[in-house]
Amino acid sequence: MTDFQKRVYDALLLIPEGKVTTYKILGDFIGCKSSQAIGQALTRNPHAPQVPCHRVIKTDRTIWWYAFWVSEKRSILHAEGVYFDSNDILEDPHAIYYFA
């Protein structure tokens, strides 16, 4: 695991169940301007779902690819109380977590 990946995974552990964050918010929190780099770290997460990479969505509030399938990510988030409409857009914008 690289230092960058550790920073990403440590930040993910701060996101409470029932909340999601965006690639951009996560990147800003850890000092990374590249959503693609964040995505690559999430793809390599060896501790999913305990390190909750499934709690990261796109800035436009749409659900995005997960290590398995979008349907599985949607199902996991639904079980945590996070809901998406039929267009895969986050229903409650208050579910977005902003790091303090």
Q: Residues 68-87: what's their mean pLDDT?
A: 89
53 labelled catalytic: yes
Predicted pLDDT of residue 69: 72
pLDDT tens digits, one per residue of 40-74:
999 899 998 899 999 999 999 998 765 567 788 88
Residues 82 and 11: beta-carbon distance below 8 Å: no
What are the residue ranges of helices labelled H in the chain? Answer: 3-12, 23-30, 35-43, 70-79
pLDDT tens digits, one per residue of 22-36:
999 999 999 999 989
Query: Which one from 26, 53, 57, 90 is the annotated catalytic residue?
Result: 53
Confidence (pTM): 0.92
* Ordered structural domains, the chain, with CATH: 3-95 (1.10.10.10)
DSSP state of 57: E
